[in-house]
Amino acid sequence: MPFDYNNVKSPFYSEGKLELNPVQNWTEQGAANLVLFVRGSFGQDDLYVTVEDSAGKSATAVHPNRSSLVATGYSEWKIPLSSFTGVNMAKVKRLYLGVGDRKNPKAGGSARVYFDDIRLTRP
């Protein structure tokens, strides 16, 4: 999925949202990780994934090393489902992919990034 972001102007973060209807059970068949592949240049901006359950509880994982994400090739990001503390992973309603910081917005950059092969995996 190509994703153009522009964090130069307010609100200083950019995100895409996937609405899951019906809600999904991400704990089935021993799933333990959310895995996605990312390609792009993030400069000073953070890359994040937010998962929200059907009760509206959400948690966010921020990529630990954005400098490892380079424009020339895809990088795998494996996020343990346990990272999404407080979210009922048996009732996932929304998935957000974003660049920036929703809680502490500040001016950033702009670019195109790519997300691919979003999936759940076992340990």
| Residue 73 C-alpha from the chain's centroid | 18
The single-letter code of the amino acid at 122 is R
Tokens for 45, please give them.
Answer: 């901006």
Q: What does the buried/exposed string (b/e) look like for 32-46 if buried means 16 or more CB atoms within 10 Å of the residue's CB?
A: ebbebebbbebeebb
Tokens for 50, please give them.
Answer: 């937010």
Write out the chain's pLDDT in tens, 123 residues: 999 999 999 999 999 999 999 999 999 999 999 999 999 888 889 999 999 999 999 999 999 988 777 778 899 999 999 999 999 999 999 999 999 998 999 999 999 999 999 999 999
